[in-house]
């Protein structure tokens, strides 16, 4: 092989390595975000059932479950505020 071909292969390998590192970095960020969202959703859904033991009855309907599953504890807080003002979901 001539020196020009070696240089092209080296440059291609470095670009491929950089691309691989960027993909891993993006996957790590995405998995971390997904894990945090799942934990928040599970905590929100568990809080609905814990609040029923305290005496705060939140109606378990499809919109309520969807809101709490998507937004977690923040969604549950919003539902509680809406219930306080008499707005039904």
Cα–chain-centroid distance for residue 33? 5
Q: How confident is the model at residue 89 (pLDDT cuts 50, 70, 90)?
A: confident
Residue 13 confidence (pLDDT): 85
CB 89 within 8 A of CB 61: yes
Q: Is residue 72 situated within a structural domain?
A: yes
- Looking at the domain assignment, is residue 28 inside a domain? yes
Per the domain annotation, does 38 fall within a domain?
Answer: yes
- Specify the number of domains making up the chain: 1
Contacts for 63 with CB less than 8 Å, ≥ 6 apart: 89
| Mean pLDDT score, 13-41 | 91
Domain for residue 89, yes or no? no
What is the value of pTM for the model shown? 0.68
Asked if 44 contacts 69 with a C-beta cutoff of 8 angstroms, the reply is yes
In a domain, 45, yes or no: yes
Question: What is the rounded average pLDDT of the residues 16-34?
Answer: 92
| Domain interval for residue 55 | 3-84
Task: Evaluate whether residue 47 is within a structural domain.
Answer: yes
pLDDT bucket at 88, cuts 50 / 70 / 90: confident
């Amino acid at each position: 092989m001539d020196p020009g071909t070696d240089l092209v292969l080296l440059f291609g390998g470095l670009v491929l390595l950089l691309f691989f590192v960027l993909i891993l970095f993006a996957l790590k960020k995405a998995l971390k975000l997904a894990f945090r969202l799942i934990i928040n959703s599970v905590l929100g859904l568990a809080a609905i059932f814990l609040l029923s033991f305290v005496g705060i009855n939140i109606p378990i309907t499809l919109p309520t479950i969807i809101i709490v599953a998507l937004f977690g504890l923040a969604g549950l807080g919003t539902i509680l505020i809406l219930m306080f003002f008499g707005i039904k979901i």
